[in-house]
């Protein structure tokens, strides 16, 4: 069958600053998924998009074309509202783990399709795989049943969910074209809309450890995604949240599960609790549940009960001990003062090099590896106090972890000790549908 467009004319349209027609977008996304448009042609097109941008209507059409490349789940007949959260990725960001059972404790079902980590930010599925027996792969039928029985499921997206995005994201990853707000927006929202959630809260991270290093870019990304979700009938809001410092104390798969369980038991670090509660509130509001205080279900054990059911339903043992690293090395304060910086990128890279993250898709993780922060931003320290410990399977990983810490911030290092305390604001802004209009380029 003759193709109705050719890749070169689509590339040239965008290369020269033109607007792609709906038909060009539908064709190129579909033809790339079918293998008719070659990787090198799609690389040229994504580079042109990165440099020239896309209008809001091009982004919306691109998103719709990626959704149409696969299946679209539908939970409208479950009999309960549904809500989900997506984070653009950060260091120590384990929030999904306590959040999904917390929201389910209020009768809102959470169908959370998550991913694996690549690079310095971890993936939710990798974290949960620290729990002996836990399985990420759940069929659509089992997912539906678990939503009915438990109210929350965190699992891998099936191969049929936005396959165009799977292929395209892998290509962007190796061609220096990930950092395009239009393509990030379309990539995230195609998966979230296809997943069939009724409400969606986006946690758009800002800072050294995030995709978006400054608040203006983060706001543009948030507005674009909120508009896409709203136009697709998903009640969508975004929180812009700080990622200049890691979230919580544990960075690394098992360390993050342990910390999440502490939060579910009513404890845990204040920043993790605050963000979990605020995201839960936004998800519940999106799903029509208002006037509740989500911190209650952390304190009274309801969220913990849901967590235990959710883990058991996927074969995991919620009582099994977490893997622990045989080698631990301390990093100590070299002066008295207050911690004025713990750089998220430095800490994330250190955890990655210790074995907590992958450089290539098929790398095997050390689930016990990572960084644990004994002191955090604003804490007072005395010379010699332990600021953090590095955890790894083998001692020879330590030098690379330590080097990552000292290379951060252009050689100034991950940790800075100053003479006066600093405060941290976690939630920087909130973007609702009413804030999301704009042009998108
Ligand atoms: N996460 C995604 O799913 N897609 C992107 O393009 C970037 C981050």
Domains (ranges, CATH) in the chain?
7-68 (1.20.970.10), 76-158+173-319+427-435 (3.40.1030.10), 327-418 (3.90.1170.30)
Its pTM stands at 0.96
Give the distance (Å) from ligand 1 centre to CA of residue 318: 30
Would you state the pLDDT for residue 223?
97
Would you state the pLDDT for residue 153?
98
Which DSSP symbol is given to 225? H
Mutation to probe ligand 1, out of 86, 116, 163, 184 (largest number of atoms < 8 A from CB):
184
pLDDT above 90 covers a percentage of the chain that reads 93
Give the distance (Å) from ligand 1 centre to CA of residue 193: 14
Could you tell me which residues come within 8 angstroms of residue 409 by beta carbon, excluding any fewer than 6 positions away? 208, 341, 343, 345, 346
Give the distance (Å) from ligand 1 centre to CA of residue 89: 9
Would you state the pLDDT for residue 276?
98
Residue nearest to atom 5 of ligand 1 (CA): 184
Would you state the pLDDT for residue 122?
75
The closest-lying atom of ligand 1 relative to the alpha carbon of residue 178 is 6
Would you state the pLDDT for residue 145?
97
Token pair 């707000």 in the structure block, residue:
181
- Which residues approach ligand 1 with their CB closer than 6 A? 169, 178, 183-184, 187-188
- C-alpha to C-alpha distance for 374 and 389, rounded to whole angstroms: 7
The residues carrying an active-site annotation are: 86, 165, 172, 187, 191
Q: For the CA atoms of 15, 21, 27, 30, what is the dihedral angle to 10 degrees?
A: 80
> Is-contact 182 59, C-beta < 8 A?
yes
Could you tell me which residues come within 8 angstroms of residue 237 by beta carbon, excluding any fewer than 6 positions away? 200, 201, 202, 226, 282, 285, 286, 430, 431, 432, 433
Would you state the pLDDT for residue 210?
93
Residues of the chain with pLDDT under 50: 439-441
């Amino acid at each position: 069958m003759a193709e109705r467009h050719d890749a070169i004319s689509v590339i040239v349209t965008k290369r020269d600053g033109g607007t792609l027609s709906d038909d060009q977008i539908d064709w190129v996304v579909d033809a790339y998924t079918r293998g008719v448009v070659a990787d090198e042609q799609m690389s040229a097109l994504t580079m042109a998009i990165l440099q020239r941008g896309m209008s809001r209507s091009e982004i919306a059409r691109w998103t719709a074309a990626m959704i149409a490349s696969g299946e679209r789940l539908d939970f409208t007949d479950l009999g309960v509202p549904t809500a989900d959260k997506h984070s653009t990725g950060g260091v120590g960001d384990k929030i999904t783990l306590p959040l999904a059972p917390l929201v389910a404790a209020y009768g809102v079902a959470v169908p959370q399709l998550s991913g694996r980590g690549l690079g310095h930010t971890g993936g939710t599925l990798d974290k949960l795989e620290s729990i002996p027996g836990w399985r990420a792969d759940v069929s659509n039928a089992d997912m539906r049943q678990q939503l009915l029985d438990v109210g929350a499921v965190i699992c891998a997206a099936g191969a049929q969910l936005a396959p165009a995005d799977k292929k395209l994201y892998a290509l962007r990853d190796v061609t220096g074209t990930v950092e395009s707000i239009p393509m990030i927006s379309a990539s995230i929202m195609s998966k979230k809309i296809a997943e069939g959630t009724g409400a969606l809260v986006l946690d758009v991270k800002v800072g050294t450890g995030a995709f978006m290093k400054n608040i203006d870019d983060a706001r543009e990304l948030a507005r674009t995604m909120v508009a896409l979700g709203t136009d697709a009938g998903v009640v969508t809001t975004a929180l812009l949240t700080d990622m200049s410092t890691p979230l919580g104390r544990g960075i690394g798969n098992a360390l993050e599960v342990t910390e999440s369980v502490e939060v579910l038991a009513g404890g845990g670090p204040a920043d993790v609790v605050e963000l979990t509660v605020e995201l839960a509130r936004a998800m519940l509001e999106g799903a029509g549940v208002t006037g509740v205080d989500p911190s209650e279900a952390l304190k009274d054990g309801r969220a913990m009960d849901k967590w235990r059911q959710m883990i058991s339903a996927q074969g995991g043992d919620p009582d099994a001990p977490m893997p622990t690293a045989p080698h631990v090395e301390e990093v100590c304060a070299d002066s008295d003062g207050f911690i004025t910086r713990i750089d998220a990128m430095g800490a994330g890279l250190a955890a990655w090099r210790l074995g907590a993250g992958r450089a290539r898709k098929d790398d095997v993780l050390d689930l016990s590896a990572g960084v644990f922060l004994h002191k955090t931003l604003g804490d007072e320290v005395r010379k010699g106090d332990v600021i953090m410990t590095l955890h790894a399977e083998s001692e020879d990983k330590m030098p690379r972890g330590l080097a990552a810490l000292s290379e951060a911030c252009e050689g100034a290092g991950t940790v800075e000790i100053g003479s006066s305390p600093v405060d941290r604001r976690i939630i920087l802004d909130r973007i609702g549908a009413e804030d999301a209009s704009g042009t998108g380029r």
